[in-house]
Amino acid sequence: MSEALPDVFSPARWPFELSQLPQPAYLVGGAVRDGLVGRTVTDLDLDFVLLQDAVQTARTLAKYYGAGFVLLDAERQIARVVFKNITVDFAQAEGNSLEQDLRRRDFTVNAIAFDPFTQTFIDPNKGQEDLQRRLIKMISPENLQDDPLRLLRGYRQAAQLGFEIEAETKAAIQAFAPLLSQVAVERIRTELVYLFNTPNATNIIQKSWEVGLISPWFQSANQQFQHLSQMDLSAENLGKIYPQLSQELSRGLRETLKISILGIAKLSCLCNQNLTLAEAELLELKFSKIELKSVLAILKGLSQINLLKTKDLSLREQYFLFQGLGILFPAVIVRAMAAGFSLETLSPLINRYLNPNDPIAYPQLLLTGNELMEALKLRPSPKIGELLLEIQLGQIEGKITTIEQAIAYAQQLL
Ligand SMILES: Nc1ccn([C@@H]2O[C@H](COP(=O)(O)OP(=O)(O)OP(=O)(O)O)[C@@H](O)[C@H]2O)c(=O)n1
């Protein structure tokens, strides 16, 4: 049997020797679930349940291998060992027996234990059957009430695994949905980001809104569901013609932020389309400043693109569009496509964006602020920035081509 098991069940692949663990020790949670369905993830995270000495085991392992050690919960005896590409958590079994510990978890598919010493599975809640039936099924309604984040986790994991939510579980989630507001918004936000980053999960996002899970934070989201549902298809169609844009959409907004550019575009669909109201919604969920600014830039960019319905954009308007968006340009294109704009209408803008020498998308300044100050004997002030902008616009519109003309133009404006 062990031969047929995926890597995660092979202790030889773990970043430590099995002999370093006290017996019994069990691998539990997402790694077991994902291993059994053959799902691979980028950040591998192994969760172990021990019947004793969980924190001490973690401390000893970290010291032995020179890995990081984090005490996560002294009272409940949970600690983390951080290896190079993998984190390993050790927790004392809740209720002091493996079976009781598994019974207190959220869903049956997350409550399967693997004993690495005997290479056997312990599955009192029949999680393996539900894995085969591709079902997210609660262990009990009380467990969902105990930690209402689990309500949203259920929808998120259904999206990531491509599973259905079992009927009674769905009814319980809907009934308990108002409890989610008791949970720290940071935890809710993390789940939402997973949902936005999961391809083809917009229908699940919509369903989770309909059962009342995310509607308290995004009250008017249903007005954009039609567009939200088209986002993945639009991104795919865009990628067929412009593969570079497709790659850019899947990149993280920042290295330190998990949300992708396509994810932030989906988030912008859920928000109120009014900038002030969208800002209030995102602040409520404690999204970071950069996430917030990005959503607002997308909404603004989309309203600029909407002008294309009635006219061509002037060079000045195009300049402000590119300046306002930067790396978010593909996000707005996908939103515009989802809203019904044809690629034909959008391609002149896309071609500018993809050409690093394009004077509108990537204008080169004829002179720097210092050079301008020197030429006109000006002191530093916000006025310098305004003059540089005017010079830039003059360049774009073809009124200025030399440094002398730029200086004369600025002089005239003064
Ligand atoms: N609110 C929660 C969070 C976690 N768990 C249990 O703790 C395990 C590990 O949790 P975590 O690492 O947060 O999530 P995973 O299920 O491992 O999966 P993912 O990485 O997709 O979040 C879960 O499988 C589940 O058994 C739970 O019952 N309730």
Nearest to 131 by CA among 161, 156, 154: 161
Q: Is 80 in the pocket of ligand 1 (CB under 6 A)?
A: no
Phi, psi of 349 (to 5 degrees): -70, -40
Q: Can you tell me which atom of ligand 1 is nearest the CA of 47?
A: 9
Residue 135 CA to ligand 1 center (angstroms) comes to: 16
**Structural tokens at position 157:** 């994991």
Rounded distance, CA 272 to CA 291, Å? Answer: 15
**Structural tokens at position 385:** 């920035």
Strand order in the sheet with 44-50: 68-73, 78-82, 86-92, 44-50, 25-28, 113-115, 120-122
Q: Is 94 in the pocket of ligand 1 (CB under 6 A)?
A: no
Q: Is 89 in the pocket of ligand 1 (CB under 6 A)?
A: no
Q: Is 106 in the pocket of ligand 1 (CB under 6 A)?
A: yes
- Distance between the two ends of the chain, CA-based, in angstroms? 82
Mark 190-218 as b/e (b = at least 16 C-beta within 10 Å): ebbbbbbbbeebbebbbbbbebbbbbebb
Residue 311 CA to ligand 1 center (angstroms) comes to: 51
Q: Is 358 in the pocket of ligand 1 (CB under 6 A)?
A: no
Q: Along the 414 residues of the chain, how does pLDDT read in single tens digits?
A: 445 676 899 998 899 999 999 999 999 999 999 999 988 877 789 999 999 999 999 999 999 999 999 999 999 999 999 998 899 999 999 997 999 999 999 999 999 999 999 999 999 999 999 999 999 999 999 999 999 999 999 999 999 999 999 999 999 999 999 999 999 999 999 999 999 999 999 999 999 999 999 999 999 999 999 999 999 999 999 999 999 999 999 999 887 778 999 999 999 999 999 999 999 999 999 999 999 999 999 999 999 999 998 889 999 999 999 999 999 999 999 999 999 999 999 999 999 999 999 989 998 888 899 999 999 999 999 999 999 999 999 988 888 989 999 999 999 988
Q: Is 143 in the pocket of ligand 1 (CB under 6 A)?
A: no
Q: Is 113 in the pocket of ligand 1 (CB under 6 A)?
A: no
Rounded distance, CA 211 to CA 176, Å? Answer: 10
Rounded distance, CA 127 to CA 197, Å? Answer: 26
pLDDT of residue 1: 41
Please tell me the pTM assigned to this model: 0.91
Nearest to 153 by CA among 185, 112, 188, 186: 188
- The residue whose CA has the least distance to atom 7 of ligand 1 is 29
Counting every residue written for the chain, the total comes to: 414
- The residue whose CA has the least distance to atom 10 of ligand 1 is 29
Q: Can you tell me which atom of ligand 1 is nearest the CA of 41?
A: 20
Query: What is the CB neighbour count within 10 angstroms for residue 43?
Result: 8
Nearest to 180 by CA among 215, 156, 206: 215
The C-alpha R_g of the chain, in whole angstroms, comes to 27
Indicate the burial class of 276 (C-beta count within 10 angstroms; 0-12, 13-18, 19 or more).
exposed
335 touches 265 (CB < 8 A): yes
Q: Can you tell me which atom of ligand 1 is nearest the CA of 143?
A: 28
Residue 150 CA to ligand 1 center (angstroms) comes to: 9
What is the interface pTM, i.e. ipTM, of the complex? 0.97
Among 47, 76, 145, which residue has the most ligand 1 atoms within 8 Å of its CB, making it the best to mutate? 47
pLDDT of residue 4: 61
